[in-house]
């Protein structure tokens, strides 16, 4: 992670989470475009750079984002009525399971991407790329509809400040030890 990867602040951490989803979508589009770029242009510096960018993003920043969302869950649960709290807990379990599946798929994609980043094309499995993209798209949709909308409605200014402090601390720690 580089310092310019940090947003200017986390005054509205829920908005920052949603904004990160847009970054995920852009990175997924670039990642899934790699096989076509290789077919049309062959292996070149642009493909290697794009593979390296994808590795940095999906290996590092995505995990930080998941930790941000895990901080959000207990804050949100405190503000919900019982039936909504149960629904959010169930949804949280599903999302954690999806995080594990994303990690598993990412590990399978990592080796061919490492090769591309080094300028060697050992084949990037399109079916696995498309599965990863679909997995993340579904995950984002569920988070935004089931978690983030409730967070916008229910979190207090103090909750938002605490969530924002955690987000900044995680990124500062990541930068300091990167």
Indicate the domain borders of the chain. Answer: 11-177
Which pTM was predicted?
Answer: 0.87
In this prediction, residue 87 carries a pLDDT of: 92
The residues, any chain, with a CB within 8 Å of residue 98's CB and separated by 6 or more, are: 135, 138, 139, 142
The CATH superfamily holding the domain 11-177 is nmb1532 protein domain like (1.20.120.520)
The pLDDT value recorded for residue 21 is 93
What is the per-residue pLDDT across 4-48, written as a single tens digit (0 to 9) for each?
344 445 678 999 999 999 999 999 999 999 999 999 999 999 999
Low-confidence ranges of the chain (pLDDT < 50): 1-8
What is d(CA 44, CA 7) in angstroms, rounded to the nearest whole number? 31
User: CA–CA separation, 4 vs 27, rounded Å?
Assistant: 16
**What are the φ and ψ backbone dihedral angles of 77, each rounded to 5 degrees?**
-60, -35
Tabulate helix, strand, coil % of the chain (nearest 5).
Answer: 85, 0, 15
- Phi/psi for 136 (5° steps) reads -70, -40
Of 28, 2, 19, nearest to 102 by C-alpha is 28
Quick one: which of 100, 111, 110 has its CA closest to 135? 100
Nearest CA to 113 out of 102, 100, 103, 123 is that of: 123
Dist CA 78 CA 85 (whole Å): 8
Predicted local distance difference test score (pLDDT) of residue 91: 92
> Rounded to an integer, what is the distance from CA 25 to the centroid of its chain?
9
Token representation of residue 178 = 């990167």
pLDDT for the residue numbered 1: 41
What pLDDT is stored for residue 5 in this prediction? 45
């Amino acid at each position: 992670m580089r310092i310019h990867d940090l947003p200017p602040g986390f005054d509205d951490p829920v908005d920052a989470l949603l904004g990160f989803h847009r970054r995920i979508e852009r990175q997924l589009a670039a990642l899934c475009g790699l096989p076509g770029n290789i077919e049309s242009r062959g292996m070149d510096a642009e493909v290697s750079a794009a593979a390296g960018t994808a590795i940095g993003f999906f290996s590092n920043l995505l995990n930080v984002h998941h930790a941000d969302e895990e901080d959000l869950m207990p804050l949100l649960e405190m503000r919900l009525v019982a039936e909504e709290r149960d629904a959010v807990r169930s949804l949280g379990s599903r999302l954690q399971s999806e995080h594990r599946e994303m990690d598993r798929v990412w590990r399978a994609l990592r080796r061919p991407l490492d090769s591309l980043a080094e300028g060697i094309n050992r084949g990037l499995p399109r079916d696995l790329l498309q599965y990863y993209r679909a997995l993340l798209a579904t995950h984002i949709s569920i988070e935004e509809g089931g978690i983030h909308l409730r967070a916008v409605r229910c979190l207090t200014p103090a909750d938002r400040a605490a969530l924002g402090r955690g987000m900044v601390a995680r990124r500062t720690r990541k930068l300091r030890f990167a």
